[in-house]
Chain A
Amino acid sequence: MTGQSVLIVDDEPPIRRLLRTSLGAQGYRTLEAATAADALARIAADRPDVVILDLGLPDRDGLDVIRAVRASNTVPIVVLTSREAEQAKVAALDLGADDYVTKPFGMDELMARLRTALRHRLAQDGAAATFRSGDLEVDLVRRYVRARGAEIKLSPREWDILTLMVAHAGRVLTHRFILGRLWSAGGDVQQLRVYVRQIRQKIEADPERPRHILTETGVGYRLAEQETLP
């Protein structure tokens, strides 16, 4: 194991204990903070490789923490929240959080998100030329897409959407993020949905039950990676 360091920010001792034990077993070094102030101090001082952040903190809102961290730091942040509200998730992602996990969560899911966040941090500069996940293969250099062994023709806008997803494979991309990247102005969620449906028609075996492009209801889309395939 790499001995990467994880900062656990949660005010609930049982959760901290659980994460400490589980992450320790996987070889991560764990740091802990129970308050927002504590968390900000730790991030500045200890420079963790990734932060697991509970949005409900006693002293400040977790969203404030994200805002404060992003002002100076690109450390990956995985948000932990018991809030059902989609707005909170979207707000966290828009503020620069890398991903989110809703409480209660399975440990597998949290670990997968954590790994994705860490990998993207490492691979920020040199992205791989080819993306493979299950029966889907995207070659970013030669610009082709292969699904279930056959080459797929995509329109330019569809290609842009898919490559954006490939660049952030495994992470959730909010509607706003995708629109902001690909539409200079005036794009709306409705339009995006139409394109995603078209891409699914081409690459998914069963477009009604997609395995590659997953919908995060009310938030955005996530391109499944091999290991996160449902």
Chain B
Amino acid sequence: MSDRDIRPSPEALLKQAARDSGRGRLKIFLGAAPGVGKTYEMLASAQARRREGTDIVVGLVETHGRAETAALLEGLQVLPRRRVEYRGNTLEEMDLDALLARRPALALVDELAHSNAPGSRHPKRYMDVDELLEAGIDVWTTLNIQHVESLNDVVAHITRIRVRETVPDGVLDRADEIEVIDLTPDDLMQRLREGKVYVAQTASRALGHYFSPGNLTALRELALRRTAQRVDAQLLDHMQAHAISGPWPAGDRVLVAISGGGNAAALVRYGRRAGERLRAPWTALHVETASRAELSEAARSSVTDALRLAERLGGEAVTIPGHDVAGDILSFARERNFSHLVIGKPALRGVFTWLRGSITTALIARAGDISVHVVGSSERKPARAPAGPAVLTQPARAWPYLASTGCVAAAVLLGLALQQVLTASNISLVFLTAVLIAAASFGLWPSLYACLGSVLAYNFFFLPPVYTFTIADPENVVALFFFLIAALIASNLAAGMRAQALAARGRAGTTEELYRFSRKLAGILDMDDLLWATAYQVATMLKVRVVLLLPQGKANGESGGEGIAVRAGYPPEDELDAADLAAAAWCWKNNREAGRGADTLPGAPRLFLPLRTGSGSVGVLGINREGGAADAVRPLLAPDQRRLLDALADQAAVAIERINLAADVDRTRLLAETERLRSALLTSISHDLRTPLAAILGAASGLESYHALLDEAGRRDLLATIRDEAERLNRFVGNLLDMTRLESGALAPRLEAADLGEMVGAALARAGRVLADHRVEIDLAPDLPLLKIDPVLFEQVLFNLLDNAAKYAPEGSTVTLRAWHETGPGTAGQGRGRLVRLQVIDEGPGLPEDALELVFDKFRRIPGGDRQRAGTGLGLAICRGFVEAMGGSVVAANRRDRSGAVFTVTLPVQPADDAVPAEHEAAAPPP
């Protein structure tokens, strides 16, 4: 290696930083086989740490009834286990939530590879451990080497027992410490004979074989080698982080090419080991060709599984579209600088492989400087997934074959018609045309069928002796043979082209659909419309049931408001069951998929995906499919459907974020508007308070300073100013207080039977000075009944109306107060019944027609700022508040006969009070 760059590599520093951050530290006690004493060692170390004062909690430890191990639990807090009912059995599992809540410094969790009972949050215990680490809790755990994913098939080879419970290599790699509990095979055998090794009953059959010295030696070697490898990797990290230049490998990269064959998983595991050995990053690649898009469901799921396995093992998984598999693999490898290529030995040999040319051969021939590893498959073909008939080959449809027969028949007829013109050998061209038409229209198999039919028909009808299947002329045998070859090749090519065209059309359709969707989303401004459109689109494109969940508004968010709730669904759906809700909530919180088919909460009926954008997630998308529980085993979506879903989800997420941002902008604008109003209000109040104060202060200080200069009239004038303005100030403060009472809901009218005339008199007396420059006319009907009102509030209403009239009507004009009694349709809430109406009519300029309702708004003068007369702006708002509190209504209108405003107060007459004879007191005359 020529490049001796001694700067610390960023990746190494990142890894270091991740380790130093808040995440808990993981220590794995690794054993070669059961019985080497991992749990014992873990507990013994824990006891030592406990004595040092570390806060340790035993999340779960299996002592398998051994006294010496159990003794080591002495003094450690052991968390009670969670009981799970499953198919009539009670299973005990670690109580993850209790452990998270307890938050010890260090948690002991035995048997990392354990699978949790169905219905648990995570299907695997190592995921529980991951969550503990994520929460900042250190974890010690135990693991046997046979459970390590990448060694799984090697161990199965050695012991002939395949363990189903595996732990991804990544977990081992991310562990901060690994301690190998090493025991020589002889010692282990000894312990086994002494009965010191617990072995599950079910495994006892295989025991004799498993615990053979040869196996144990091999397993021990695996454990030690795996750990050594890790030590090596750690050393490398350290050297890179600290910029110690050393001979680390110069960019080897391993590419694993997988197809739908049964050995895809083994290939991936091999690739992983090769990558480990070379200390090279590795990638699993699948080339999806047009013809391969028609792979069987089983083959496709095998590819998907292999790609997923690659990701679990810490590799990269890539799918690219292509047509020339070998060429595409090699150009991908060259582009991305891969130095090693791992491929499988072709499983099938036959005429088609020979015809197409083996991909393996092509790869080796064209690989150039890339090393090609061809891996044989020793694995038995995996038993066909017991998934029922749906995954078997597609049912053959009959009509393409019928149509192909038609093509051949047409060729026969045409041939017979042309027989006079063409020689027999040239008529073969007619049949070739028929074969090509069948290939282009119906695909490979019908075309092969047409090919065969053509050969027979050609022979039967045109090659002498005609109407027999025998051929007389050897020349014709050769011709027929070449015709067959030409027809085969042509039909193969045409069928391939058709398949590609079909795939391209499918992709183009999908792309166009996506494009239409994104255009549609761009035009939507309303969140509910958007969610509905998204749900509908996903549901129709993928044939699934869809729900969309969004975070709830903080306003009604209970417990911190981080919950999410269903906002849309197609078909419409509001309710999710508890398992779905839990999965959705987990998905939202952790920003990772959860639910059916995912790693977390796979028991939920739905699969939930976070809707992610560059700046975080905006919601959760849940899907499921109609169908019974039997379906639950199969993955919800094929890989291409999954990609489509991801594309749709991405578009939806961006659109949702856009609408959220728009809403934020609106909120900000509203806030600014509120702010502007508030400052206008402050200006207004300050003006209303200060104007009388200014007059009072000015008059008082004028009296004080210039008393001698003022004549008697001047002095009285100033004193009158002080008194009038103090009264005005008092009214304004009173209004403010009334308004506050109304706004705070502290207003409780004390309703009592009161006489209108009496109250008009009181209000006029109070408004005497205000109305000093106006004429007042009173017109009260004689038959007014007693009203059930609060006299104090009502007097204030009357006063405010009179004050308002005095303020806007010119001096010297007439203010009229009328009241009468009628039977009307009733006011709000009162139904039909008798009413009393009271009007205050002035001769002012009247109100703008569009402001008739607005005048009752608080601080209606706001547009005018402080340029209008003081003391207005609250009075009418208070009128309306008071009247409505007493069950009545008040409206404003303009006079019809001349300019001027009319304020009408309508009050209901309580039926009970009808009986009481109305007193007809004359209204007090204006002073």
| Chain A bound to chain B | yes
A residues with a Cβ closer than 8 A to B are 11-12, 14-15, 17-19, 21-22, 24-26, 56-59, 61, 82-84, 103-108, 110-111
Chain B 479-502 near chain A by CB (<8 Å), digits 1 or 0: 000000000000000000000000
- Asked if B724 is an interface residue, CB under 8 A from chain A, the answer is yes
Residues of A within 8 A of B831 (CB): none
Residues of B within 8 A of A84 (CB): 686
With A82-B866, A104-B698 known as contacts, the answer to whether A18 contacts B721 (CB < 8 A) is yes
Residues of B within 8 A of A26 (CB): 706, 709
Which of B691, B697, B865 interacts with A12 by CB under 8 Å?
Answer: B691
**Pairs A-B, 10 closest by C-beta atoms:** A104-B694, A103-B694, A22-B702, A107-B702, A56-B866, A107-B701, A104-B697, A14-B695, A25-B709, A106-B701
Which of B717, B725, B728 interacts with A21 by CB under 8 Å?
Answer: B717
Is B706 in contact with A25, judged by CB distance below 8 angstroms? Answer: yes
Known: A18-B695, A18-B702. 10 other contacts (CB 8 A): A11-B869, A14-B695, A21-B717, A26-B706, A26-B709, A58-B869, A83-B866, A103-B690, A104-B693, A108-B705
Is B693 in contact with A25, judged by CB distance below 8 angstroms? Answer: no
- Asked if B565 is an interface residue, CB under 8 A from chain A, the answer is no
Q: Which residue of A lies closest to B720 (CB)?
A: A17
Residues of A within 8 A of B699 (CB): 18, 21-22
Chain B 682-712 near chain A by CB (<8 Å), digits 1 or 0: 0100110011111111110110111001110
User: Chain B's nearest CB lies how many Å from the CB of A44?
Assistant: 22
Residues of B within 8 A of A105 (CB): 694, 697-698
User: Chain B's nearest CB lies how many Å from the CB of A56?
Assistant: 4
User: Chain A's nearest CB lies how many Å from the CB of B807?
Assistant: 11
- Name the residue among A18, A59, A110 with the largest chain B CB count within 10 angstroms: A18
Residues of A within 8 A of B870 (CB): 12
Residues of B within 8 A of A59 (CB): 867
Residues of A within 8 A of B693 (CB): 103-104
Please, could you name 19 A-B residue pairs with CB atoms under 8 Å apart, sorted by A?
Answer: A14-B692, A14-B721, A15-B695, A18-B702, A21-B699, A21-B717, A22-B698, A22-B699, A22-B702, A25-B709, A25-B710, A25-B711, A25-B714, A58-B867, A103-B694, A104-B694, A105-B698, A106-B697, A107-B706
Which of B704, B709, B867 interacts with A11 by CB under 8 Å?
Answer: B867
Q: How far is the CA of A88 from the CA of B813 in the complex (A)?
A: 38
Residues of A within 8 A of B683 (CB): 83
- Asked if B468 is an interface residue, CB under 8 A from chain A, the answer is no
Is A107 in contact with B705, judged by CB distance below 8 angstroms? Answer: yes
**Secondary structure type dominating chain B contacts:** helix
- Asked if B718 is an interface residue, CB under 8 A from chain A, the answer is yes
Q: How far is the CA of A17 from the CA of B718 in the complex (A)?
A: 8
- Name the residue among B717, B724, B865, B868 with the largest chain A CB count within 10 angstroms: B717
Q: How far is the CA of A176 from the CA of B750 in the complex (A)?
A: 61
Q: How far is the CA of A58 from the CA of B695 in the complex (A)?
A: 18
- Asked if B864 is an interface residue, CB under 8 A from chain A, the answer is yes
Q: Which residue of B lies closest to A109 (CB)?
A: B701
Is A21 in contact with B691, judged by CB distance below 8 angstroms? Answer: no
Q: How far is the CA of A12 from the CA of B699 in the complex (A)?
A: 14
Q: How far is the CA of A47 from the CA of B921 in the complex (A)?
A: 59
Is A19 in contact with B869, judged by CB distance below 8 angstroms? Answer: no
Residues of A within 8 A of B696 (CB): 104
Q: How far is the CA of A24 from the CA of B701 in the complex (A)?
A: 15
Is A22 in contact with B706, judged by CB distance below 8 angstroms? Answer: yes
Chain B 659-696 near chain A by CB (<8 Å), digits 1 or 0: 00000000000000000000000010011001111111
Q: How far is the CA of A26 from the CA of B706 in the complex (A)?
A: 8
Enumerate B883-897 residues with CB–CB distance to A below 8 Å: none
Q: Which residue of B lies closest to A20 (CB)?
A: B717
User: Chain A's nearest CB lies how many Å from the CB of B684?
Assistant: 10
Residues of A within 8 A of B687 (CB): 56, 82
Q: Which residue of A lies closest to B696 (CB)?
A: A104
Q: How far is the CA of A26 from the CA of B714 in the complex (A)?
A: 11
Residues of B within 8 A of A108 (CB): 701, 705
Is B864 in contact with A58, judged by CB distance below 8 angstroms? Answer: yes
Q: How far is the CA of A12 from the CA of B867 in the complex (A)?
A: 10
Is A18 in contact with B718, judged by CB distance below 8 angstroms? Answer: yes
Q: How far is the CA of A119 from the CA of B566 in the complex (A)?
A: 78
Is B698 in contact with A107, judged by CB distance below 8 angstroms? Answer: yes
Q: How far is the CA of A21 from the CA of B714 in the complex (A)?
A: 6
Residues of A within 8 A of B692 (CB): 14
With A25-B710, A25-B714, A104-B696 known as contacts, the answer to whether A14 contacts B702 (CB < 8 A) is no
User: Chain A's nearest CB lies how many Å from the CB of B678?
Assistant: 15
Q: Which residue of B lies closest to A81 (CB)?
A: B866
Q: How far is the CA of A103 from the CA of B687 in the complex (A)?
A: 9
Is A12 in contact with B869, judged by CB distance below 8 angstroms? Answer: yes
Q: Which residue of B lies closest to A111 (CB)?
A: B705
With A22-B718, A25-B710 known as contacts, the answer to whether A15 contacts B702 (CB < 8 A) is no
Is A82 in contact with B694, judged by CB distance below 8 angstroms? Answer: yes
Q: How far is the CA of A110 from the CA of B721 in the complex (A)?
A: 18
With A58-B868, A106-B697, A107-B705 known as contacts, the answer to whether A21 contacts B710 (CB < 8 A) is yes
Is A56 in contact with B714, judged by CB distance below 8 angstroms? Answer: no
Residues of B within 8 A of A104 (CB): 690, 693-694, 696-698
Is B718 in contact with A21, judged by CB distance below 8 angstroms? Answer: yes
Q: How far is the CA of A25 from the CA of B865 in the complex (A)?
A: 33
Q: How far is the CA of A22 from the CA of B724 in the complex (A)?
A: 17
User: Chain B's nearest CB lies how many Å from the CB of A6?
Assistant: 14
Residues of B within 8 A of A24 (CB): 714
Residues of A within 8 A of B868 (CB): 11, 58
Enumerate B714-760 residues with CB–CB distance to A below 8 Å: 714, 717-718, 721, 724-725, 728
Enumerate B854-874 residues with CB–CB distance to A below 8 Å: 864-870
With A21-B710, A25-B706, A56-B866 known as contacts, the answer to whether A15 contacts B718 (CB < 8 A) is no
Residues of B within 8 A of A11 (CB): 867-869
Residues of A within 8 A of B724 (CB): 14
User: Chain A's nearest CB lies how many Å from the CB of B682?
Assistant: 9
Residues of B within 8 A of A18 (CB): 695, 698-699, 702, 718, 721
Is B690 in contact with A14, judged by CB distance below 8 angstroms? Answer: no
Residues of B within 8 A of A19 (CB): 698
Is B702 in contact with A21, judged by CB distance below 8 angstroms? Answer: yes
Q: How far is the CA of A57 from the CA of B868 in the complex (A)?
A: 7
Q: How far is the CA of A33 from the CA of B150 in the complex (A)?
A: 97
Is A25 in contact with B691, judged by CB distance below 8 angstroms? Answer: no
Chain B 34-51 near chain A by CB (<8 Å), digits 1 or 0: 000000000000000000
Is A12 in contact with B698, judged by CB distance below 8 angstroms? Answer: no
Residues of A within 8 A of B705 (CB): 107-108, 111
Which of A25, A58, A83 interacts with B702 by CB under 8 Å?
Answer: A25
Q: How far is the CA of A21 from the CA of B711 in the complex (A)?
A: 10
Q: How far is the CA of A26 from the CA of B710 in the complex (A)?
A: 8
User: Chain B's nearest CB lies how many Å from the CB of A80?
Assistant: 8
- Name the residue among A14, A19, A26, A82 with the largest chain B CB count within 10 angstroms: A14
Q: How far is the CA of A69 from the CA of B438 in the complex (A)?
A: 98
User: Chain B's nearest CB lies how many Å from the CB of A86?
Assistant: 14
User: Chain A's nearest CB lies how many Å from the CB of B67?
Assistant: 84
Q: How far is the CA of A107 from the CA of B683 in the complex (A)?
A: 24
With A21-B718, A108-B701 known as contacts, the answer to whether A15 contacts B706 (CB < 8 A) is no
Q: How far is the CA of A24 from the CA of B702 in the complex (A)?
A: 11
With A58-B867, A107-B701 known as contacts, the answer to whether A82 contacts B691 (CB < 8 A) is yes
Is A15 in contact with B869, judged by CB distance below 8 angstroms? Answer: no
Q: Which residue of A lies closest to B679 (CB)?
A: A85
Residues of B within 8 A of A12 (CB): 691, 695, 869-870
Residues of A within 8 A of B702 (CB): 18, 21-22, 25, 107
Q: Which residue of B lies closest to A58 (CB)?
A: B867
User: Chain B's nearest CB lies how many Å from the CB of A52?
Assistant: 11
Q: How far is the CA of A115 from the CA of B866 in the complex (A)?
A: 28
Q: How far is the CA of A11 from the CA of B864 in the complex (A)?
A: 13
User: Chain A's nearest CB lies how many Å from the CB of B44?
Assistant: 72
Q: Which residue of B lies closest to A16 (CB)?
A: B695
Q: Which residue of A lies closest to B717 (CB)?
A: A21
User: Chain A's nearest CB lies how many Å from the CB of B680?
Assistant: 12
Is B709 in contact with A110, judged by CB distance below 8 angstroms? Answer: no
User: Chain B's nearest CB lies how many Å from the CB of A102?
Assistant: 9
